Structure 1
């Protein structure tokens, strides 16, 4: 595991002056992202939200069309229920589900206008972009890292 805890704390401080206070903790599976978020949650006394679990519970009784329409509102409610200025999100893969027809980064950015959001994301940083999945995969996304703060073992700042 890289020294991510100190890096995340620095990014949280840096985010306070930004319009979108979004920090993505980017790394491949099994790189310690959850452990870092758990440590930050304990240090800042803030909850760590399992997005896959919480959002899927709320989407369960909806039709596919309703799920696509209600996801932004329901996700906003989940994050809004967290008190305080800092929200930690883990297991955000559901946001990339093609059936939900969402842009995960835009959802996260929208929520980070009111609170500092730190989200763990399975992916990699290549050529100044965060990549989720591989190019031929239906959930593939590629975002320039200039659109958010990033902490990753692949990026040295």
Structure 2
């Protein structure tokens, strides 16, 4: 029987404890069930899922466009700092807003330096590339080398290769 995705995330969190960035990405397309898995995981750890879009947009509302770009990393770190470990993030689409001029993966890595973070990633992982959105879309991102542990909704996980 295949190992449930929930268990792969827990094993990835354990493996991430010794890494520079303690980041675990749950990668899947819209509607693939990422939110349900994150909720179950948060319940098990006695924490809650942070809706990044909602939390950040309310904090950024009063700021100018330039202030939003400059202060976003600090605000995201503060939001994560208020959460219990592991920090569970969902709905991270705001991080990809081109007007904010940010590298979403770098932001997530930054907040995972001092705490374990599990974040949903609305995209795909193919042939060692982490993708967000479709080619040509204004928010499209492609990462060749990712300093994070990845669990795919298709059951793949970077932790599997370390197990062998």
Q: Same fold (TM over 0.5)?
A: yes
Of 141-150 and 26-35, the range deviating more from structure 2: 141-150
Paired positions, count = 155
Deviation at 1:61, TM superposition (A): 1.2
Going from structure 1 to structure 2, the CA distance change for 1:78 and 1:105 (only over 3 Å counts) comes to: same
Task: Map 1:16-35; keep pairs closer than 5 Å.
Answer: 16-35=17-36
> Which consecutive aligned stretches of 4+ in structure 1 deviate over 4 angstroms post-superposition?
none
State the distance in 1 between where 2:128 and 2:38 align.
23
SS of 1:123's equivalent in the other structure is: strand
Mark the runs of 5 or more structure 2 residues left unpaired by the alignment: none
Mark the runs of 5 or more structure 1 residues left unpaired by the alignment: none
Q: TM-score, normalised by structure 2?
A: 0.90
Residue 12 of structure 2 is matched in structure 1 by: 11
Deviation at 1:46, TM superposition (A): 1.2
Deviation at 1:144, TM superposition (A): 2.8
Going from structure 1 to structure 2, the CA distance change for 1:139 and 1:42 (only over 3 Å counts) comes to: same
Q: TM-score, normalised by structure 1?
A: 0.94
State the distance in 1 between where 2:145 and 2:5 align.
17
Residue 38 of structure 2 is matched in structure 1 by: 37
- RMSD of equivalent CA atoms: 1.4
